[in-house]
Amino acid sequence: MTPHISNGAEHEVVVTGIGLVAGQLTDPEALFDHLAEGRTLITEHPLHKEWGVPCAVSAHIDPEVRQQLADAVPEEAGPLGSAGVLAWHAAAQAWQRSGLPRRLDSERGGVFLACNRMVMEPAELTALADHVDHEAGALDLDGYLERLDGPAAPDAADGLDPQRYQKVQPDSATAALADYFGAAGVLETHADACAAGGMAIGSAYRYLRSGTLDVALAGGAESLTTLTSVTAFYGVGALAPADGRDPAQISRPFDKDRSGFVIGDGAAFLVLESRAHAEARGARILATVAGYAGVTEAVKMTSSSRDGADYAQCMRAALTDAGLVPEDIDHVNAHGTSTEANDTCEAAALHTVFGARAAHLPITGNKSAMGHSLANSGAAEAVLSVLSLQRQTLLPTLNFTEPDEVTSGLDVVTERRPARVTAVLSNSFGFGGQNCSLILAEAGGARP
């Protein structure tokens, strides 16, 4: 373990490792190439039609890939649920690529995981219902847990896992990662809705910038292409109906014919370090985290102010944190969910912050091809932003053919585009008014 170093570079935060799991792909470069070719991860879900939901498509992890990943988790990583398995693989990949030792074993390392609370599936809900006293309006949770863990625990054929309760708690995965990599100085589990991935990275960045930590593993994982989640999001009007359309054409960020988002699964992690720590051990620096802002508002549970004022405030705060002005941003990795409300708010905010320059500022919506993996989305988009900086290449937004009145006047990238990129603004805006903007810059730092 490299000793803690105090010098002028201590407070600059750099990226030294990235990892990602999405669809059938288990490394970030392969995903970047896949998206750059204009290909999608969105396909029909094998169970959605059986469930009878109107949105029978998703960017889910391929079942064979999911099983392979589960089988490959080492026993010492601890019991992990479906999201935890994805988190472990993305985190392990980022950690290995960073060149850090297998275990950090230092209180100056931390883990910051974004993962919304897992939900129960039909078999589990049925089992839980057996312990509800409807007359008293009470649930015997102890009885349910004893049934899972006690001598009368059901067989695997019943579809109930004795360790299920532990596995579905997001902070269980955070603790497992911290223990496995020896980085338990600070542990945080973020459930800030769709902004959680960005918030986790931003929180880690602040700990590093303050000098409290030397190393942080920060990212997100989500596994919510499930009956309960799909039904709930469709019920509030957030998911796009399939309506017999080609799955690849359904997610349409900023397009006038957008009708909702497509849900997805996945995991993505970054290893963040102080520049001094990374340079002292001779690490390869991929990018810098130049700025961050997390802003909350409470306009409406499912949307923000339509004039974009709340999103604009968040972007401006990130620019201020980075010591940059709008002219320093070369690319925007938009939240771009393909919902009418979100895209309207974000487009209005981009016009507000960048003014006339918005017409010449390239904007990408990764969710057009990756779907929306909720708590993980900001982390996945941060990884892709790092690769855009590395490759000096912008990824396309699929299915954008014609803007509406608000989304017009934006330079939405529709084909792979070579470009000089020194700083990327990556946005994540969540239900309930959780807003986040990250600024990622080239390895040498953003221009002054």
- Report domain extents, the chain: 13-120+168-442, 123-158
Question: Residue 51: is its pLDDT beyond 60?
Answer: yes
- Given the residues 190, 345, 372, 436, select the one marked as catalytic: 372
Catalytic annotation on 60? Answer: no
Per CATH, the number for 13-120+168-442 is 3.40.47.10
**158-203 pLDDT, tens digit each:** 445 666 666 677 789 999 999 999 999 999 999 988 999 999 999 9
| Average of per-residue pLDDT across 332-356 | 96
Is residue 335 among the annotated active site residues?
A: yes
35-44 tens-digit pLDDT: 999 999 999 9
Catalytically annotated residue among 34, 45, 190, 335: 335
Average pLDDT along the chain: 89
- Cα 173 from Cα 203, distance rounded (Å): 18
Do 246 and 79 meet the contact criterion of CB atoms below 8 Å apart?
no
What is the C-alpha end-to-end distance of the chain, expressed in Å?
A: 33
Annotated catalytic residue, options 45, 60, 190, 194:
194
- Specify the pTM: 0.91
Q: What is the pLDDT of residues 312-328, one digit of tens each?
A: 999 999 999 999 999 99
Pairwise CA distance, residues 232 & 239, whole Å:
9
Is position 372 annotated as part of the catalytic site?
Answer: yes
Mean pLDDT throughout 332-339? 96
Give residue-wise pLDDT tens across range 368-377: 999 999 999 9
Q: Which residues contact 98 (CB under 8 A, 6 or more apart)?
A: 16, 17, 271, 273, 283
